[in-house]
Amino acid sequence: MNGVHDMGGMDGFGKVEPEPNEPMFHEEWESRVLAMVRAMGAAGAFNIDTSRFYRETLPPHVYLSSSYYKKWFLGLEEMLIDKGYLTREEVAAGHAMQPAKALKHGKFDRANVERVMVRGKFGRPASAPAKFNIGDRVRARNIHPATHTRLPRYVRGHVGVVELNHGCHVFPDTAAMERGENPQWLYTVVFEGRDLWGEDGDPTLKVSIDAFEPYLDPA
């Protein structure tokens, strides 16, 4: 979706402000949100792409004015309501009122902690040969799905070169919408800065994205 989360190349957000000796969490609740997201994801309530999509669909003014963990919280709450794990009435009351919905991987208890500390596996066996080779010129497709995609707007329509092939991976565009893993070849595609940003762009800049095969046409 063409949301405000797709920030590459936008102007007006000001300077980057590193915080010296930044704490891991600025408020205790942030750590609870992180843990709840990790736990409910590991329990099978949602996949990582779905959770990203729920953050992206926050209203633009909410997205832009909320801290990172606030976005995580808002996305989590809405997603769990939509998926039937809790109700709006329960959220308003602050207590459980309805029977629980079964979780795919069961209750998240201490025995499950170790496995959330390593990233999930997203590589999948290939069902067809790769369409592109290293060094091929490709054009990022000019597509504008209203649903989740990982093709940023700033490269759409531009020509780049395939630099790496990462094998087949879960396709976020379908996984986020719970339409299956639909594995696709994944490539690093590199673009010249001036192709993206015009003649005034930095001549020393190259930018790469990791692009799934359905995002690309031969060029």
Site for another protein in 87-126 (CB under 8 A): 88, 90-91, 94-96, 100, 103, 107-110, 112-113, 116-123
**161-190: which residues touch another protein (CB under 8 A)?**
164, 166, 169-170, 172, 186, 188, 190
Site string for another protein, 26-45 (x = CB under 8 A): xxxx-xxxxxx-xxx--x-x
Site for another protein in 121-150 (CB under 8 A): 121-123, 150
The reply to whether 74 sits near another protein by the rule CB under 8 A is yes
195-217 b/e with 16+ CB inside 10 Å = b?
ebeeeeeeeeeebebebbbbbbe
Residues in region 2-21 near another protein by CB under 8 A: 5-11, 13-19
Q: Which CB, 39 or 136, lies closer to another protein?
A: 39
Question: In 3D, which of 130, 153, 132, 150 has the Cα closest to residue 142?
Answer: 153
Contact 195, 219 (CB under 8 A): no
Residues 195-214 that bind another protein (CB under 8 A): 196-197, 201-202, 204-212
Spatial distance between the Cα atoms of 214 and 219, rounded to a whole number of angstroms = 14
**φ and ψ at residue 191, rounded to 5 degrees:** -120, 145
DSSP-derived pairing of the beta strands 184-192 and 137-140: unpaired
The size of the interface with another protein (CB under 8 A), counted in residues, is 99
Among the listed residues 41, 50, 76, 138, the single contact to another protein using CB under 8 A = 76
**CA separation for the pair 187, 178 (Å, rounded):** 23
